[in-house]
Amino acid sequence: MSKINYDLSKIRAIAFDVDGVLSPSVVPIDSDGNPRRMANIKDGYAMVQAIRHGLKLAIISGADTEPVRRRFELIGFTDIYLGQIDKLPVLRQWMQANGLAPEEVAYCGDDIPDILPMKHIGLSVAPRDADEAVKACARFISTVDGGHGVARELLQEIMMAQGIWPGTDNSAFGK
Ligand SMILES: [Mg+2]
């Protein structure tokens, strides 16, 4: 029984915000005043597996730096939208281009710009330390804070429900 109250067998695609979701909200600032990001290795593993098993993943972020792009390119993302302040049009376009119905999509965000995208899709997810208004419209609130395995928890739940999580009895692990 999944801890997420949603028919996870429907999910074909997941879009992620970066800051506060895949990287913590509190990060160091470099000598030029730019925030640094952190990456969660267990998130990375789950993303690699998800892509390998045919789930469609996207990044939709206000951040616009080369290291962020590179991080997700290396994982295997092909749909990386950076510098996006107005996220809903990007999400809609991505869904349309991939023939995705709202109930087939999960979106994971932590702050005010994520509210409209979260209302547009079936499974809205917020990290435990997300803004209160964001949590109020989330279908599932992660048991962990942003940057501490939000994507891992979500992708593992989805892939377990679909029988494709490595290590589950009917998974394609090792193939
Ligand atoms: Mg954010």
SS3 category, 59: strand
- 17 contacts 109 by C-beta, under 8 angstroms: yes
Give the Å distance between the CA of 45 and the centre of ligand 1: 21
pLDDT for 155 beyond 80:
yes
Give the Å distance between the CA of 171 and the centre of ligand 1: 32
At residue 3, the pLDDT reads 93
Give the Å distance between the CA of 64 and the centre of ligand 1: 13
pTM for the whole thing? 0.94
Give the Å distance between the CA of 19 and the centre of ligand 1: 4
At residue 170, the pLDDT reads 55
- Alpha-carbon separation of residue 133 from 22, 51, 126 (angstroms): 19, 31, 10
pLDDT for 171 beyond 70:
no
Give the Å distance between the CA of 107 and the centre of ligand 1: 12
- 127 contacts 107 by C-beta, under 8 angstroms: no
At residue 169, the pLDDT reads 61
Give the Å distance between the CA of 49 and the centre of ligand 1: 23
Give the Å distance between the CA of 164 and the centre of ligand 1: 28
Give the Å distance between the CA of 137 and the centre of ligand 1: 15
Give the Å distance between the CA of 154 and the centre of ligand 1: 16
At residue 57, the pLDDT reads 98
Assigned fold of 8-27+35-161: Rossmann fold (3.40.50)
Residue found under tokens 């009895």: 169
Q: Which residue intervals of 30-175 are DSSP H helices?
A: 41-52, 66-75, 87-97, 115-120, 132-136, 150-161
Which conformational region is residue 174 in: left (phi greater than 0), alpha (psi within -120 to 50 degrees), or beta? Answer: left
Give the Å distance between the CA of 153 and the centre of ligand 1: 17
At residue 175, the pLDDT reads 45
Give the Å distance between the CA of 55 and the centre of ligand 1: 22
SS3 category, 57: strand
Average pLDDT over residues 152-170: 91
Query: How do residues 12-64 score in pLDDT, each as one tens digit?
Result: 999 999 999 999 999 999 999 999 999 999 999 999 999 999 999 999 999 99
Task: Give the separation between CA 56 and CA 77, rounded to whole angstroms.
Answer: 8
Query: How do residues 54-107 score in pLDDT, each as one tens digit?
Result: 999 999 999 999 999 999 999 999 999 999 999 999 999 999 999 999 999 999
Backbone angles phi, psi at 67, to 5 degrees: -60, -35
